[in-house]
């Protein structure tokens, strides 16, 4: 009997944010997962995403990888994203035969992978990774918002919304802001 191919899905969240780490998830689905629930994380409401994330976690092997604000500044956002993906894959307890990655870049040294543009919309296992990464990062930013309440991170999750930009102008930057990103850099150079 032929061995079933173990496929992992990988996606990242937070590349375009002005604050917080970039977060990736690697997921291998197990039997019993409700595939109908798996969609691009951006197309699911916050509340529903949390429920679906819990369902995925109980029906998969998964791991989270982060790249810090300092690593984003040192490496650049693309290389930091790839580092977070690599970290997620390294933590995965099940080693995949094939890795499907959202986008068109993959971490160096990876074997047997395929990059798929808009993979989070097309491939269920990538959708699952997208949901887990998004819920993890959103919760992280909500937690940080309790300490740094002037930037509305509990609702914008670090993206450059009007409330976040106004907070930056009024209160300056925090250690969680990405100093190399234009709106943050602009404030630093004034």
Q: Could you give the angle at the alpha carbon of 126 between the alpha carbons of 116 and 44, nearest 5°?
A: 115
Determine the structural domain holding residue 51 and report its residue range. 7-147
pLDDT in tens, 107-138: 999 999 999 999 999 999 999 999 999 999 99
Residue 38 in any domain: the answer is yes
CATH number of the domain that 141 lies in? 3.30.420.10
Are 119 and 102 in contact by the 8 Å Cβ rule? The answer is yes
Looking at the DSSP bridge assignments, the partners of residue 60 are 29
Number of domains comprising the chain: 1
pLDDT in tens, 84-98: 999 999 999 999 999
Residue 179 in any domain: the answer is no
pLDDT at 40: 84
pTM tops 0.75: yes
């Amino acid at each position: 009997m032929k061995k079933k191919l173990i496929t992992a899905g990988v996606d990242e969240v937070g590349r375009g944010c002005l604050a917080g780490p970039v977060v990736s998830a690697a997921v291998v689905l197990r039997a019993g997962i409700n595939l109908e629930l798996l969609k691009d994380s951006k197309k699911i409401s916050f509340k529903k995403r949390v429920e679906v994330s819990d369902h995925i976690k109980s029906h998969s092997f998964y791991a989270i990888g982060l790249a810090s604000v300092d690593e984003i500044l040192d490496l650049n956002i693309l290389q930091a994203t790839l580092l977070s993906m690599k970290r997620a894959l390294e933590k995965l307890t099940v080693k995949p035969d094939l890795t499907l990655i959202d986008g068109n870049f993959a971490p160096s040294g990876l074997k047997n992978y395929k990059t798929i543009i808009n993979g989070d919309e097309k491939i269920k296992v990538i959708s699952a990774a997208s949901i887990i990464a998004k819920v993890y990062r959103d919760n992280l930013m909500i937690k940080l918002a309790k300490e740094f309440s002037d930037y509305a991170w509990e609702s914008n999750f670090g993206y450059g919304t009007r409330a976040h930009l106004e907070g930056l102008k009024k209160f300056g930057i925090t250690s969680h802001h990405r100093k190399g990103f234009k709106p943050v850099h602009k404030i630093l150079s004034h």
